[in-house]
């Protein structure tokens, strides 16, 4: 529910009433419930393992998720009938995936109905096409009044139908391989609104990009050499940006931090003069038109972008003083989303743009953004069927037909993605702490660890939320688990397949005639 506005209400009630209200709130459009507990009762709460990490004085519950209702029950039982303050935070806005009476919906379509109508028997990805549009419009509105390019980072999700949709609404594209560029052009993206990134661009890829008029980022000495050769071969002057590391800490997982001194990306800043001299020497082959930086991914503090922009502004001033006409400031992407479903208020595209708006306007620049996760992340869920529930005596497991092969982020990064049942659990189902795991022959094959969930019945379905970015794009065929189908719910509520599931025949086709 990115960028949703919230209103809050607060009342003092008995703990038993608080729990009743929590249950009622779960069926409504309530994002959070906050129980403020009398301090003399809080010490007993902290004796419970569930609440040792809680801040003194209140418990925050995401009541629209079934897994948190048991925590409300625990709070209320532990404080007996002492008074607690209940604050409900009602989310105002539009979300692609919502829960009503325990049934999960994509837009206004019940996911269980989709499963039955499409006769699903394998895990699959389900997208909201309207949410794709809403996310893009959030960036458009944020950039109003600025010269800008929204460059969708194709690496986040390269589904061809999604690319065509973004091209149709006017997005540019950010590419990190020659095939991504080819796919973007086939999907209808304007090459002059595309940016070719990467620390290892191949000479033949650069020739193709320069010929098409794509903006190209210089990442190293050899990269500049290859770009110069591409300009000479094609007879087209390459429009280039220098990728500079502002060395601003993005405060994210080290695997997705890309703008610090230890990163493999970008030029050595102390060699700036050398790069400028080389570009001047080859002014017939290359034209320096801007600077670029990329801090990382899953960023939740937008002041980091302002810090980077101020650093970049110093470089822009130095470069312009050498006679270069810089037009573009590319500050990359990386805006985070609410994977935790905790109701956290995360920065919006408007928050991001507002941190650099005056810098861009005052220096007569065109701002380039490279959103990926924040455009597609919350538009999809990974839907899997429960094979069964088991325990090894120490751990409880929900075993599903989805796995790390189809969605590797939790295994690779230790990433959290929220998990929710598609339908209400059986009457009387006990709530336990589970690891949600797949059938792949690896101990690392998990979609979620230590998740408090009602015990599902065999054959029921669950979803891994926020699966639109770096999920299907990173899927593999490990254990010969073929990549799944993808569907989306359209504006009129119809469901359409946007990618076929892969089959064994697809695998065998690679060996024909050998």
Which tokens hold the place of 139?
């960036």
Determine the Cα–Cα distance for residues 103 and 27; give it in Å rounded to an integer.
10
Contact status, residue 507 vs residue 477, Cβ threshold 8 Å: yes
Contact status, residue 152 vs residue 173, Cβ threshold 8 Å: yes
If we measure between CA atoms, which residue out of 165, 94, 158, 173 comes closest to residue 129?
A: 165
The DSSP bridge partners found for residue 243 are: 292
Determine the Cα–Cα distance for residues 330 and 217; give it in Å rounded to an integer.
10
Q: How is residue 192 annotated by DSSP?
A: G
CA 33 to chain CA mean position, Å: 25
Task: Mark whether 441 is an active-site residue.
Answer: yes
**Residue 453: Cβ within 10 Å count:** 24
Sheet holding 83-92, edge to edge: 5-14, 83-92, 30-36, 58-61
If we measure between CA atoms, which residue out of 463, 388, 378 comes closest to residue 110?
A: 463
Q: How is residue 237 annotated by DSSP?
A: P
**Residue 224: Cβ within 10 Å count:** 23
Taking each helix axis from N to C end, the angle separating 303-320 and 272-281, rounded to the nearest 10 degrees, works out to: 50
Which tokens hold the place of 392?
């090894």
Phi first, then psi, for residue 55 (nearest 5°) are -75, 150
If we measure between CA atoms, which residue out of 53, 66, 126, 21 comes closest to residue 341?
A: 66
CA distance to 182, 242, 269, 290, per residue, from 228 (Å): 21, 14, 20, 17
Determine the Cα–Cα distance for residues 456 and 147; give it in Å rounded to an integer.
51
Which tokens hold the place of 461?
């379905």
Strand pairing category for 109-110 and 83-92:
unpaired
Determine the Cα–Cα distance for residues 45 and 54; give it in Å rounded to an integer.
9
Phi first, then psi, for residue 502 (nearest 5°) are -80, 155
Radius of gyration of the chain (CA): 25
Annotated catalytic residue: which of 6, 194, 441, 471?
Answer: 441
Determine the Cα–Cα distance for residues 205 and 431; give it in Å rounded to an integer.
53
Determine the Cα–Cα distance for residues 156 and 362; give it in Å rounded to an integer.
32
SS3 of 186, please?
A: helix
- Known catalytic residues? 441
């Amino acid at each position: 529910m990115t960028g949703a506005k919230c209103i809050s209400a607060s009342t003092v009630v008995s703990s038993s009433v608080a729990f009743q209200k929590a249950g009622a709130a779960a069926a409504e459009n309530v994002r959070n419930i906050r129980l403020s507990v009398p301090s003399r009762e809080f010490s007993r709460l902290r004796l419970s393992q569930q609440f040792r990490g809680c801040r003194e004085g209140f418990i925050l519950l995401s009541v629209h998720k079934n897994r948190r209702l048991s925590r409300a029950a625990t709070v209320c039982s532990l404080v007996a009938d002492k008074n607690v303050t209940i604050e409900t935070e009602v989310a105002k806005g539009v979300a692609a995936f919502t829960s009503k009476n325990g049934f999960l919906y994509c837009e206004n379509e019940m996911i269980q109905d989709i499963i039955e109508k499409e006769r699903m028997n394998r895990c699959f990805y389900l997208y909201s096409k309207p949410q794709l549009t809403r996310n893009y419009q959030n960036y458009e509105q944020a950039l109003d009044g600025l010269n800008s390019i929204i460059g969708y980072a194709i690496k986040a999700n390269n589904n061809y139908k999604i690319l065509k949709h973004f091209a149709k609404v006017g997005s540019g594209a950010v590419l990190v391989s020659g095939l991504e560029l080819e796919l973007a052009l086939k999907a209808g993206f304007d090459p002059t609104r595309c940016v070719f990134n990467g620390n290892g661009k191949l000479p033949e890829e650069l020739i193709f990009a320069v010929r098409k008029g794509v903006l190209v980022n210089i990442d190293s000495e050899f990269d500049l050499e290859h770009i110069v050769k591409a300009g000479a071969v094609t007879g087209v002057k390459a429009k280039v940006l220098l990728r500079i590391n502002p060395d601003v800490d993005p405060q994210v997982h080290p695997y997705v931090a890309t703008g610090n001194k230890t990163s493999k990306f970008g030029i050595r800043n102390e060699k700036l003069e050398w790069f400028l001299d080389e570009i001047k020497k080859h002014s017939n082959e290359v034209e320096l038109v801007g600077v670029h930086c990329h801090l990382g991914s899953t960023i939740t503090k937008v002041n980091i972008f302002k810090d980077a922009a101020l650093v970049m502004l110093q470089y822009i001033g130095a470069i312009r003083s050498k006679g270069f006409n810089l037009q573009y400031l590319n500050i990359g992407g990386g805006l985070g989303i609410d994977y935790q479903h905790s109701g956290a208020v995360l920065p919006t595209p408007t928050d991001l743009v507002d941190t650099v708006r005056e810098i861009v306007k005052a220096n007569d620049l065109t701002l380039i953004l490279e959103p990926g996760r924040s455009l597609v992340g919350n538009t999809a869920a990974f839907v899997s069927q429960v094979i069964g529930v088991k325990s090894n005596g120490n751990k409880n497991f929900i075993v599903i037909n989805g796995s790390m092969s189809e969605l590797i982020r939790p295994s690779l990064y230790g990433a959290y993605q929220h998990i929710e049942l598609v339908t209400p659990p059986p009457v009387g189902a006990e709530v336990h702490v589970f690891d949600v795991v797949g059938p792949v022959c690896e101990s690392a094959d998990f979609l979620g660890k230590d998740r408090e969930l009602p015990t599902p019945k065999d054959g029921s379905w669950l979803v891994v939320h926020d699966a639109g970015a770096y999920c299907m794009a990173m899927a593999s065929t490990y254990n010969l688990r073929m990549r799944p189908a993808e569907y989306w719910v359209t504006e009129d509520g119809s469901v359409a397949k946007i990618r076929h599931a892969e089959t064994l025949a697809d695998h065998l086709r690679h060996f024909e005639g050998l």
